[in-house]
Amino acid sequence: MSYDLVVIGSGPGGYEGAIRASQNGLKVAIVEREALGGICLNWGCIPAKALLKSAEVYDKLHHLEDYGLSASNPGYDFEKVIQRSRGVTKTMSGGVAYLMKKNKIDVIEGSAVLEPGKDAPKVVVTLKAGGIQTVEAKNVMLAVGARAREIPAIGAVSDGERIWTYRNALAPKSQPKSLIIIGSGAIGIEFASFYKALGTEVTVVEAMDRILPVEDHEVSAEALKAFKKRGINFRISAKVTKIEKPAKGVAVHVEVAGKSEILAAEGCIVAVGIVANTDGIGLEKLGVEMDRGHVKNDSHGKTNVKGLYAIGDCAGPPWLAHKASHEAVHAADYMAGRKLSNLNPPIPGCTYATPEVASVGITEQAAKEQKLDVKIGRFPFRANGRAVASSETLGFVKVIFEKKTGALLGAHMIGANVTEMVQGFCLAITMEATEEDLQGTVFPHPTMSEAILEASLDADGRVINT
Amino acid sequence: MTDILMPALSPTMEEGILAKWHVKVGDTVSAGDVIAEIETDKATMEVEAVDEGTIEAILIEAGTEGVKVNTPIARLAGEGGSAAPAPQKVAEPAKTEAPKAEVATVAAAPAPVSAPAVTSGARVAASPLARRLAEINKLDLKLLKGTGPHGRVIKRDIEEALKSGAGKAGSAPAAAASSEPRKAQSLEQLGIAPGSYDLVPLDGMRKVIARRLTDSFRDIPHFPLTIDIEIDNLLAARAKINTALESQGVKVSVNDIVIKAVALALKQVPEANASFTPEGIAMHHNADIAMAVAIDGGLITPIIRKAETKSLAQIARETKDLAGRARDRKLKPEEFQGGTFSVSNLGMFGIKQFASIINEPQGCILSVGAGEQRPVVKGGQLAVATVMTVTLTCDHRVVDGSIGAKYITALKDLLQDPIKMLA
């Protein structure tokens, strides 16, 4: 069987790219070595959000008095919380199987290795069911994703028992009484938020001088305050030098401001970034150009090898599902010769903790580094009617415009529901909105989204409600 | 009451076939409605109503051959009866009945433009940021090509324009010389007295034509290759094809056959289906043929995509549809942007031979002259054949002389012996 496109990896990049290619009339196969939907559906975005929802609801039960409500003995069953999360992934993965069938995409279960081929590299699959299948296609799309980075030199390697990566942390056998989380990016903070909500003693260790280091400074500061208030411990500007496994639990050696400290806990989660799954799939032999461990691609996903595309995590940061989907769908359109618009949409980032954090575009610091002349607006949720009515007054919206052109450069939010609100800013930036467009838009009242309008007005000193 | 006269498709046209009526007696028509189709050996053209009114009588039946130019073909009762203007129409036939005679389905001028057809005064689709940037940089959005969704001008287009110097509004500085028509000395300086002429303001399309063709003619090393093609077989084949297609209501023109042959020849000589880019020569996968169509105030080049895969009937339907909508300025940008090869046909005007200007970024453009009976020598004997002269203008950066010759020979082979198109 010869295909127009073989996609390797069925994560949110691979499977969506496969569907779009099929919509474009290409004959498509997709190779998956584990479960349809990849990390996102099975061991990432989706199961984590299931856990976090349980945590959020449980957390609310402790603040019922805010709403004039009461309940006696709110409780939880850790096993059931985990089971629910696993059930959600099963539903979602089944959905991908249906989509593959609906779009007449052949699913090949097995591990792929690339070999030199005619139009594009040949895909040699060691089938799960046994045997080897060689698949030839006009195009090959690498959508092999990434996995948690481990650092053997300091003992930061998952053993599945006491030292975890996100995978272990999503489906543990039991709830640890205490956890040390190394890394305060979105993954580290989400696990901190989840486990803390269920009563685990959590300490987050961050090497940089602030948590959520990719976010705007003000958001990092507000988040730190909020999480500390929830009882999460932090070690900032702290370097982990060694992780030991004494008789029980873990001992994490850290250096803070030149002083050494040993943190003890039942377990720890290593959340210090990712490595691309680019090893052992024949890329060296093909002479695929790499860039710091990632496959190098151009703006259409093309690599330096004829017929070979790479998208998503394996092709570089940001390591986010929606970035992978966008790249894959774009590449599938490109290879089908469809007209592509020149849009260069920014990639939003979300952290689904309590409180939530969401942002798109550049931070104030980045604007300074780029020597952009900007005007900045802010609006706190405590001045927003809906937020007050909902007892969700924590956080704010911050918006950054270029002074001369009014171009919306970045938006940064922390608070309840902000991950659902950031899309308004995404659309605005993609459509090249200016401050006038945001200021002239009618936002529904009362909603927390009015903070977007107010922050935009604040950039010109014309805020109404503070 | 107004007589509608048989229009002239070209200055030399004396008679034509009244192929079809789109209206019947008693129908109300308004200006711009298609009322009939006229056919010559080269083109099928739609006749539009110029005035509004009711069709009072149809004077020439559909299917009548040899209808002399300026013969009344129908009678229109104007809204106000006698109020309908009846100036000396016989002296000015084209003015009343065929003001757009040049807008024959395949009529063309040698200078096609695949750029946005901008109607002056029309709102230009642009993002808010693009608008702001255009204002700050004093760019005329109407002159810019939008690459965003639905041809919207976006930030990147402005940045490109600033780099290339395109789209400068008003005072074109010396730096923008590469994109604006050369600033000539004023007419007064050249001795033409003020008041001795009327000045027609440049609209968006005229500016785009001026800019693109100036750029192309100045910057592209181009050369023409000319060849004669005998088309008696082709005309015979066309007659048979049209008889066969009659029931489907499709009329294939010579130009439709030329478009098909052009595409098939490009498949034989793919080097001629190419574009120069600084990164390399883009070898196009499909033969997307742009056909130059003259429209009111300029011209535009709608595209027959993948013409090599289409039947003549399909091409005929598409050329008719595209030309019609081109005239109404109803083409979508994707319908006139991105062709890989252009065809311009001035045959219906009796032009014998001409060399078009390269339609960037295409590597070649074919100029098609009139088919006419000429003496030819066959086997040492003088004979008469219908001969059509075509000229291929080549971008030498992409198409060298030998490639161009190879291509035009392949094209000649197909057109002289159209049965080969079936092979």
Residue-wise pLDDT for B136-152, tens only, equals: 998 989 888 888 888 88
What is the distance of C-alpha B285 from the center of its chain? 24
Q: Is residue B117 part of a domain?
A: no
What was the pLDDT predicted at B212? 87
What is the chain B residue with the closest CA to A402?
Answer: B129
Catalytically annotated residue among A62, A63, A300, A445: A445
Q: Note the pLDDT tens digit of each residue in A61-117.
A: 999 999 999 999 899 999 999 999 999 999 999 999 999 999 999 999 999 999 999
Q: Which two tokens stand for residue B336?
A: 């006139």
- Of the candidates B127, B128, B285, the beta carbon closest to that of A436 is on B128
- CA separation, residue B176 to residues A442, B14, B132, B162, B166 (Å): 42, 47, 21, 10, 7
- Of the candidates A341, A407, A434, the beta carbon closest to that of B149 is on A341
Taking a C-beta distance cutoff of 8 angstroms, is the pair B128, A436 a contact?
A: yes
DSSP H/E element including A147: strand A146-148
Residues B260 and B357 in one domain: yes
pTM above 0.90, yes or no: no
How far apart CA B314 and CA B312 sit, in angstroms, is 5
- Name the pairing type of β-strands B2-5 and B72-78: antiparallel
Write out chain A residues lying below 8 Å of B338, CB-based. Answer: 339
Residues B316 and B390 in one domain: yes
Q: Is residue B53 part of a domain?
A: yes
Look at B132 and A431 and tell me if their CB atoms are within 8 Å: no
What is the chain B residue with the closest CA to A341?
Answer: B148
Return the bridge partners of B364, or none.
Answer: B394
Question: Would you say residue B370 has pLDDT above 90?
Answer: yes
Catalytically annotated residue among B22, B150, B222, B396: B396
Taking a C-beta distance cutoff of 8 angstroms, is the pair A448, A392 a contact?
A: yes
Residues B230 and B289 in one domain: yes
Q: Note the pLDDT tens digit of each residue in B71-121.
A: 888 888 865 443 333 333 333 333 334 333 333 333 333 343 444 444 445
Angle (CA) A358-A359-A360 rounded to 5° is 145
User: How many C-beta neighbours within 10 Å does residue B194 have?
Assistant: 8
How far apart CA A29 and CA A134 sit, in angstroms, is 12
Q: Is residue B201 part of a domain?
A: no
DSSP H/E element including B325: helix B312-327
Closest CA to B144 of B109, B176, B115: B115
Residue A337, chain B, CB below 8 Å: the answer is: yes
Question: B158: domain CATH number?
Answer: 4.10.320
Q: Is residue B118 part of a domain?
A: no
SS3 (DSSP) at B130: helix
Q: Which two tokens stand for residue B277?
A: 């880019």
What is the chain A residue with the closest CA to B157?
Answer: A342
* Chain B residues with a Cβ under 8 Å from any Cβ in chain A: 127-130, 132-133, 136, 147-149, 154-157, 285, 334, 338
Write out chain B residues lying below 8 Å of A407, CB-based. Answer: 129, 132, 155
Residues B211 and B147 in one domain: no
How far apart CA B388 and CA A397 sit, in angstroms, is 71
Question: B95: domain CATH number?
Answer: 2.40.50.100
Q: Is residue B194 part of a domain?
A: no
What is the chain A residue with the closest CA to B153?
Answer: A342
Q: Which two tokens stand for residue A412?
A: 């940064």
- φ and ψ of A22, to 5 deg: -65, -40
Q: Is residue B110 part of a domain?
A: no
Residues B215 and B360 in one domain: yes
How many CA atoms lie less than 13 Å away from A97 in the CB half-sphere? Answer: 10
Residue A342, chain B, CB below 8 Å: the answer is: yes
SS3 (DSSP) at B226: strand
Residues B235 and B343 in one domain: yes
Angle (CA) B73-B77-B82 rounded to 5° is 120
Q: Is residue B351 part of a domain?
A: yes
Q: Is residue B197 part of a domain?
A: no
Q: Domains in chain B: how many in total?
A: 3
Active site residue A445: yes
Confidence of residue B41 (pLDDT cuts 50, 70, 90): low
Residues B364 and B398 in one domain: yes
Residues B39 and B170 in one domain: no
Concatenating the DSSP letter of every residue in A398-454 gives: EEEEETTT-BEEEEEEEETTHHHHHHHHHHHHHTT-BHHHHHTSPPPSS-TTHHHHH
Long-range contacts of range A289-298, CB-CB < 8 Å, 24 or more positions apart? A291/A316, A292/A316, A295/A142
Q: Note the pLDDT tens digit of each residue in B269-310.
A: 999 999 998 888 999 999 999 999 988 888 889 999 999 999
Question: B396: domain CATH number?
Answer: 3.30.559.10
Note down the domain range covering B174: 128-180
How far apart CA B342 and CA B364 sit, in angstroms, is 7
Look at B155 and A407 and tell me if their CB atoms are within 8 Å: yes
Taking a C-beta distance cutoff of 8 angstroms, is the pair A267, A176 a contact?
A: yes
Residues B275 and B356 in one domain: yes
User: How many C-beta neighbours within 10 Å does residue B119 have?
Assistant: 13
Question: Would you say residue A340 has pLDDT above 70?
Answer: yes
Burial of A62 (0-12, 13-18, 19+ CB in 10 A): exposed
Q: Which two tokens stand for residue A103?
A: 């779009």
A218 CA: distance to closest CA in chain B (Å): 27
Residues B391 and B266 in one domain: yes
Residues B226 and B314 in one domain: yes
What was the pLDDT predicted at B26? 86
Q: Is the sign of the CA dihedral A153, A156, A159, A163 positive or negative?
A: positive
- Quote the percentage of chain B above a pLDDT of 90: 44
Question: Which amino acid, A225?
Answer: K
Residues B72 and B218 in one domain: no
Burial of A132 (0-12, 13-18, 19+ CB in 10 A): exposed
